Amino acid sequence: MENSGKFFWGGSIASHQCDGAYDQDGKGPGIMDYVTAGSVSKPREFHNKCRDGVIYPSHYGIDFYHRYKEDIALFKEAGFTALRISVDWSRIYPNGDDSEPNRAGIEHYRDVIKELKNNGIEPIVTLYHFELPMAVVKNYDSWTNRKTIDLYLRYCKTMFTEFKDDVKYWATFNEMNHLDSDMILSDFFTYMNTGLCYSKIENPAYAMTMCSYNMTLASVKAIELGHGINPDFQIGCVFGLTPVYAWSCNPDDAIKAFHAMDKDWYQVDAMTKGAFPEYKLEIYRQRGVELELSEEDKKAFREGKIDFISVNYYGSAVESAKGAETEDTNFFGGQSNPYLEKSDWGWTIDPKGLLYLLLMLDRRYNLPMIITENGLGAVDVLEDGKVHDSYRIHYVKEHLNQLKLAIEEDKVNCFGYLMWGPIDLISATTGEMKKRYGFIYVDQDDAGNGSLKRLKKDSFEWFQDYTSKW
């Protein structure tokens, strides 16, 4: 994809975090519909069925399903020219393997996409953002089964065909690279991606291997499929990437830091270089799982290359060859950097890490990039109908300053900045409303109580002004 010179300003949201309406208009149960509310000190729980008296935040979200016109009007006012949304697979195929798609679900997304375009906002559609039909988990053992690839591709074909003239930019998956990592919340990240709880899997080495490989294969197959339906489609994949610094100038630390990034990079390699990386197959072998790639699989990796790289960036980490130099661990793996501040939820704040990451991606892959998530989760205080979130303004401004350096001085081909989330929504990791990201305040508490009234924070006007002068 050539850089047309057009730069997208906007945000990213996910259906399970904002839509609500979890059982309306033919939608089936998705894996996030069984996840409870939690907090930074209380992990979210995964239930086999919904229990009376338990809060399941996806059931109500922020009611974007019914309020999308109001919210899109606010996005336009803020100066957005793009919005990344997700399609909930269980709203299109309620059980994943239904004989026919749910027309009501298709028409809902058609209405949302039409509203975006009528407001001059480019839709960027993520096909899988932690939104797997629960029936696929129960009947097919999730992504451990290659049959799930076929179900996913049928779903993708439906979306590509229905919206071949309405959507140009697509993303196959969101952050499936977190499935295969050593992060603190391994149970939760495994569940979000697959509907499987890591600690309860009988053979986790095999299950994680098959899930990570099958999802990567499904992605490249979907890309080939989409390009066949409309050659003008621009199809990427969203990766949650955490640059890792060496603890010291000891060469062993540098090598340890380099290898620590393999868990994030291998899928990017697989989708850009025409082959599934041998170094990852070796990691699988070390787990005791030998994968023999068929000629069909090899062909899929050769032909299903992404058009652009979508980057979710929240912070960096540190690694030491000696093991932990400090007991302070980083949310996304590795150790925390003593030179950097943290958010209220313990996430490292590192604007220069964004520059570092973009430079690595640009020099390694030479592909267009778009930042699809970056933002600060914080406790916002509503005072006299206002939220004075100078801390959020500072966070976004500092990251945008580094982005500008990357583009102007280092000639990085980045064609957009989509912050997470432009409007307050349910936190994926904790299930809270208290952890707020948006430029737009939503009057709702952690229990789902409130008027749902939308209010513009100070950051709203700041972003509106800043982007107009970029």
| CA distance linking residue 87 with residue 19, whole number of Å | 10
Gap between the Cα atoms of 304 and 272, Å rounded: 8
Judge whether 373 counts as a catalytic residue: yes
CA distance 108 to 131: 16
Q: Are strands 414-420 and 369-373 parallel, antiparallel or unpaired?
A: parallel
Q: Look at the alpha carbons of 224, 152, 205, 179 in this order and tell me if their dihedral is positive or negative.
A: positive
Q: Look up 432 and say whether it is catalytic.
A: no
| Among 175, 278, 282, 327, the one annotated catalytic | 175
Q: Return the ∠ at Cα 168 (arms to 167 and 173), rounded to 5°.
A: 85
Token couple for 107: 């028409």
- Residues 57 and 130: their CA atoms lie apart, in Å, by 14
Kindly write down the DSSP assignment for every residue of 429-447, as one continuous string.
TT--SSSB--SEEE---TT
Cα–Cα distance, 360 to 31 (Å, whole number) = 34
Q: CA nearest 245: which of 231, 258, 263, 230? A: 258
Given the residues 131, 162, 373, 432, select the one marked as catalytic.
373
Residues 6+ apart with CB under 8 A from 224: 300, 303, 304
For residues 191 and 241, what is the distance between their CA atoms, to the nearest angstrom?
19
**Coil vs helix vs strand at 397:** helix
CB neighbour class for 192 (10 Å; exposed up to 12, middle 13-18, buried from 19): buried
Q: Which residues are catalytic?
A: 175, 373
